Amino acid sequence: MKNNIKVQRAIHHLTQAQLAEKIGVSRQTINAMELNKYVPSTLLSLKISTIFKLPVNEIFFLEKSDYK
């Protein structure tokens, strides 16, 4: 699963640490998500979408390889 968290953080002028604090995770978790090394839970995805005021599917999206 890919995401555009880094782009959305830039648009909203948030650092990884600031976003992490807002949603209750570590900065390292945000970094791992941005590098596509960590797939967030549904709850975490919803928290992120609320911060960015976007639907979840505009932040997170599947690639063809995810359909296997």
For residue range 34-46, list pLDDT tens digits in order: 999 999 999 999 9
- Number of separate domains in the chain: 1
- Within a domain: 68: no
Round to whole Å and give the CA distance between 56 and 49.
5
> Please, what sign has the CA dihedral across residues 30, 28, 34, 68?
negative
CATH assignment of the domain containing 17 = 1.10.260.40
> Which domain, by its residues, includes 29?
2-62
pLDDT digits (tens, 9 = 90+) for 47-61: 999 999 999 999 999
Round to whole Å and give the CA distance between 33 and 35.
5
Q: Is the pLDDT of residue 65 over 90?
A: no
pTM (2 decimals)?
A: 0.90
- Measured CA distances, 56 to 32, 51 (Å): 18, 11
CA 37 from chain center: how many Å? 11
